[in-house]
Chains A and B, each alone.
Chain A
């Protein structure tokens, strides 16, 4: 093992392809951002650190409960042993990750401030980690800078000229980030979906029906993505997005799928039990399918129009 001057302060806060970790050096804090094959280092001298701020909250677990919900729904509707087993295994993993997330305690965001920078410490992502991190690093910093009570520092800062305080400091111009195209993709997909159903009804090409489950799944995922990214959208856009997503969710159960959904499940079961038929047929009445075509077309046209007007308004 290589001799090292560093002592580990936090565990690895992992992402899919990388991780971040904090280490304590002789006279500095070392932040390691590893991309598996390359490590990048950031060093903060103890004498330069002005403050450490930890805020509780932040990104919550979203995908695991969603996956759990999908697994429960899939497990309930699946009739084959393989289908139930598949959803059970995935569901157990999702449940374990939810439990693990709760057990690790509340999340937090930690910022380290120096005279010239504010650095978000990704390695400190839980309140429990933050307390252990502070317990280790504060004595090291105070050994270099000396220990002054927070009250005294607050009093000294309060006496500093007000012109240098943040409230009056000139703020950088706001960055105008362009809007994404996820809602347009969603509404375009709704239009495509309705077109496919219409083609299937008016012709003998059954492949159009076969594409529907895939497109429905894509609508569901893109709908979630569009809602997650909708913070900078106008209220009208968000309202149309929510309405479209609700229709997508409700569709197989109420709007058009009372008769279509059992047929769809039967098709899936047929596919899992043997060679899936290329030309799937969904056992739904023409009225039901026309209802599905109708709401999708209406929602797609409304959504695309709202998105167009929103972009035009922003451009002006």
Chain B
């Protein structure tokens, strides 16, 4: 994708460069919506893709994955030599594709994670929603406690978050179990 210019976020029509410097109060020429445009130097940089260099001499180190390419850098985990095509740079590390994949699968690099399950919210939902139908709590209350124990140390949100939902779900689940026990005892006494 080459440079395609800046477009209005309301009507997707191009905004000519002449009007970018205008302060607040600028209006789109197409839809007349009031717009704020902030441009950065990255706009003028071309999308240059680094091209690997071919191996020049016999003794020259070559890429582990592409023997015809000259090695540019080693992987910081496995030490394999890599050409510029195979070098994957993440914050603080340079990895080969295999180590990158392993890190991704093992959730070792927080900056690469695309999603996370919020186990505390799951536990809270499990403790509260089935209670609306009452009888499912016979199953879901113990399940909630299991879920809390199972996922107490599982990675949660990458954002600041307390364990309040876990505690609340635990209290609700224990209350439900207590209520069920009392109900069963009461039913048994009435029958006697």
Contact = CB atoms under 8 A, between A and B. Distances in A.
B3 A39 contact: no
Given A6-B160, A39-B116, A153-B44, A166 B5 contact: yes
Contact of A4 (B6, B10, B42, B160): B160
A41 B117 CA distance: 11
B116 A38 contact: yes
A4 B17 contact: no
A56 B111 CA distance: 32
Interface in B136-179: 156-162
A71 to B, nearest CB: 27
Contacts of A160: 3, 44
Given A4-B160, A55-B34, A164 B39 contact: no
B91 interface: yes
B9 A54 contact: yes
A52 B115 CA distance: 25
A58 B8 CA distance: 12
Contacts of A131: 36
Contacts of B160: 1-2, 4, 6
B132 interface: no
B106 interface: no
Interface residues of A, number: 63
Contact of A23 (B11, B111, B122, B159): B159
Contacts of A113: 6
Contacts of A53: 6-9, 15, 35-38
Nearest to B91: A27
Interface residues of B, number: 51
A39 B157 contact: yes
B3 A165 contact: yes
A154 B40 contact: no
A180 interface: no
Nearest to B120: A37
A134 interface: yes
A149 interface: yes
Interface in A142-161: 142, 145-146, 148-151, 153-158, 160
Nearest to A43: B111
Given A110-B9, A166-B5, A56 B34 contact: yes
Given A145-B42, A157-B43, A51 B115 contact: no
B61 to A, nearest CB: 29
B125 interface: yes
A13 B132 CA distance: 28
Interface in A137-189: 138, 141-142, 145-146, 148-151, 153-158, 160, 164-167, 169
Interface stretch (A115-123, A192-200, A282-290): A115-123
A273 B43 CA distance: 69
A101 interface: no
Nearest to A41: B114
A115 B157 contact: no
B28 A55 contact: yes
Contact of A153 (B10, B11, B20, B36): B20
A146 to B, nearest CB: 6
A54 B35 contact: yes
A57 B10 contact: yes
A251 B183 CA distance: 56
B1 interface: yes
A249 interface: no
B93 to A, nearest CB: 14
B67 interface: no
Nearest to A142: B40
Interface of B: 1-11, 14-15, 17-18, 20-21, 28, 31, 33-45, 47, 91, 111, 113-118, 121-122, 125, 156-162
Closest 10 CB pairs of A and B: A55-B10, A166-B5, A111-B9, A154-B17, A150-B21, A54-B36, A56-B34, A50-B43, A166-B14, A55-B9
21 contacts: A6-B159, A34-B118, A36-B118, A39-B159, A40-B115, A41-B114, A41-B116, A53-B37, A54-B35, A54-B36, A58-B10, A115-B47, A130-B36, A138-B38, A141-B40, A153-B40, A153-B43, A154-B20, A154-B21, A157-B3, A166-B7
Interface of A: 1-2, 4, 6, 23, 26-28, 30, 32, 34, 36-41, 43, 47-58, 109-111, 113-116, 118, 120, 130-131, 134, 138, 141-142, 145-146, 148-151, 153-158, 160, 164-167, 169
